[in-house]
Amino acid sequence: MNRLPYVATGCRPVNWQLDQIVNELRDARAQWRSQHGRLQDRGGRELPSRVTVGHIIEALSGALFPMRLGPADLREESEDFYVGHTLDVALNALAGEVRRELSYAARHNGASGDDIACQAIEIVKGFAATLPQLRILLDTDVLAAFQGDPAARSVDEVLICYPGVHAVIHHRLAHYFYKAGLPLLARMIAEIAHSATGIDIHPGATIGKSFFIDHGTGVVIGETAIIGERVRIYQAVTLGAKRFPADEEGNLQKGQPRHPIVEDEVVIYAGATILGRITIGKGSTIGGNVWLTRSVPEGSNITQANLQNESGV
């Protein structure tokens, strides 16, 4: 472990009481595991590593867009070699992280873990086979960003610089693992992008092609949201839940459809909040700072002013 430099202050040598602190931290871990039914560590890391997952996603992004998101010294004549080598390393590392999540789930669900290694390999093989189609899908998102922003000078600019494109790349990758039954790995990928961009897309959200998030900071898209094709949204837009149904014991019911459906060719401007399992009809425009909790038909133009007029304000 690297030690921080000691700065002399004229005080007596410091005794941090580390033995006592280490023992008390061990006791705190044991108490948590006992209270929450957690198994003791088995000699190694039990869960996927966020750091490792971050490296894997960075490598996959480079393999998808080698001359833009790959290494600075890459040349076109060595592009295929770089992509093949990068995928080989990344997919093997990914299989290890998938195996950790499958093992974790098996231990805590009381399931057999005999074939987990093979299961992890099959999941990653299936993911690898989708990468060409994923690249084609991402190309539609990049093109939508370029065509949707008059300030964009090139598709290369939006791919390299735009946080919305960065977040969508992560989401497309995360969504695969969410559907494959790996919610923890999927959420890690999503939160890496969230930390970097301020855009929070739950990996469960279903998003059609040619999706563009402009500016992006503060965007929130919930787990069961469904977004059609050629949709554009701006910063601080929320596609959220209106209420959270609970069971008889007061526990939240998870997995219920509770977020909006946004049909094709909708534009949602900055600060709009759209809540509940409602439908925004095809070709509609939702104005800035609108608060909307009801469905609207195709071709609607919703602003604060017309909502106030409808309510008699």
> Would you state the structure tokens that stand for residue 184, as one six-digit string?
């923890």
Phi, psi of 221 (to 5 degrees): -125, 120
Same domain, 61 and 166: yes
The token pair at 20 is 């006592």
81 with 189, same domain: the answer is yes
In this structure, are 75 and 149 located in the same domain?
A: yes
Residues 88 and 175 reside in one and the same domain: yes
State the CATH number of the domain containing residue 194: 1.10.3130.10
Burial group, residue 206, by CB count within 10 angstroms (0-12, 13-18, 19+): middle
CATH code, domain carrying 289: 2.160.10.10
181 and 58 inside one domain: yes
CB 200 within 8 A of CB 146: no
Query: Tell me, what's the pLDDT at 38?
Result: 59
| Whole-number pLDDT of residue 107 | 82
Total count of domains within the chain: 2
Residues 181 and 265 in one domain: no
Residues 235 and 192 placed together within one structural domain of the fold: no
* Residue 297 located in a structural domain: yes
Q: Check whether residue 83 and residue 135 sit in a common domain.
A: yes
The structure's pTM equals: 0.87
**Same structural domain, 81 and 142:** yes
Q: What residues form DSSP beta bridges with 233? A: 213, 268
pLDDT at position 119 = 94
Residue of 293, 290, 294 lying closest to 304 (CA atoms) = 290
CA 209 – CA 230 distance, rounded (Å)? 6
Q: Is residue 25 part of a domain?
A: no
- The model's pLDDT over 286-302, given as tens digits with 9 standing for 90+, comes to 999 999 999 999 999 99
Tell whether 307 and 223 lie within a shared domain.
yes
Same-domain pairing of 59 and 178? yes
Residue 58's domain comprises 48-198
- The contacts of residue 23 (CB under 8 Å, 6+ apart) are none
Distance CA 284, CA 228 (A): 12
* Per-residue pLDDT tens digits of the chain, which is 313 residues long: 555 555 556 677 888 899 999 999 999 999 988 887 655 555 566 789 999 999 999 999 999 999 999 999 999 999 999 999 999 999 999 999 999 999 988 887 766 667 899 999 999 999 999 999 999 999 999 999 999 999 999 999 999 999 999 999 999 999 999 999 999 999 999 999 999 999 999 999 999 999 999 999 999 999 999 999 999 999 999 999 997 777 777 777 777 899 999 999 999 999 999 999 999 999 999 999 999 999 999 999 999 878 766 765 5
